[in-house]
A and B are shown apart, each in its own frame.
Chain A
């Protein structure tokens, strides 16, 4: 037990996690430089960065259940970094689409967002993630008050749903849902666990409230 905590608290643990999170980026970057991204590199880049955004959402949502179930509170210190990497990948995803697919043609992009529900939902997810990334520093928590800050950051539940919808609609064109269902299953499990905890806590508190009224 102690050694695990020590490992997670080690000075190198954060840099190591940081580098791990950057690995997909490096892989794609060098892939693009050396022409290793397959026949249609633009498509590969856009898809891979979208995949990694979804994966990071899952990883971020995993932190709390893992922390509670494994009784490892120290895990929480990586959550902000993982959250920011989610934003990092969604920004690259948006950039790759805007640049490689739309050639930074802003009117074209706006038209695309209005016309295509799946792009609109993707863009909305990005917009909703932005305040979370912007309020990720310590002072923001102080200024906002912990309660309000926490409420804002619960937006990630909505964002995960929108992200999945974006992916689902993208794949709907080709009736190709296998991967979508895998991500949806993971997100459902992670959000379901929270719901279950919430109900349990409510029941407990109502029991204790009942007990209190008896006294």
Chain B
């Protein structure tokens, strides 16, 4: 592949269909030689392999017998779903899964709602501290969990929210909402103000304008926000492991019980991992079309 890129100077001319003759041959953006095409696809295939391999690998191992991780060669001749059956019936996995669905779902709903309304407010309204608020959203991203975790524990304990889904949802919202509000502000900035004014003229309340006119237009941004909030909650380890008791373990904490100090039960771990991946991938597939546009608006207009 490297040889392909180095050996494709401009003299290996572009395909003949773009035949506008020029004195000095400079290749345009949308033309490329066959070799360059091979290099392009080669690089992307390699990168895709690197990106997908760990996922493919755990799926592969999970389909084998209990010892598959020690001898991957035996997997293909002994395909079975035994590991999945065991995880689903012999362990508390379904319970952890339910806990994670509640927590991640709650964080997503709360996160999207708070981030959208806050982002809209910062984008459209002028109030004292308006500029500082955006900065403080960014600053909350800097708070190291190590300093928050003990005080948060005590705070939640005071409101009886330890070992409680709501407590964890609120905690995750504080991580996800500032960043999401920041992105949503950028996204709302790209929606013309005339639309708000039109809504106002038609007699809608500020919230009505927001809800009926702006939210539908901001779907790509909301999709990214939902995705980000969901993943924050679905994959968080540190808070979940300190705040939740065995009855309310989330997946991130529960799956660690398959691994003891000295050894890990990889048959269970891989099967459980694949089951955990499925909802995340579904959410991802739902929003992935919107990821690019949603993220950009937030990034460029901050």
A and B form one complex: no
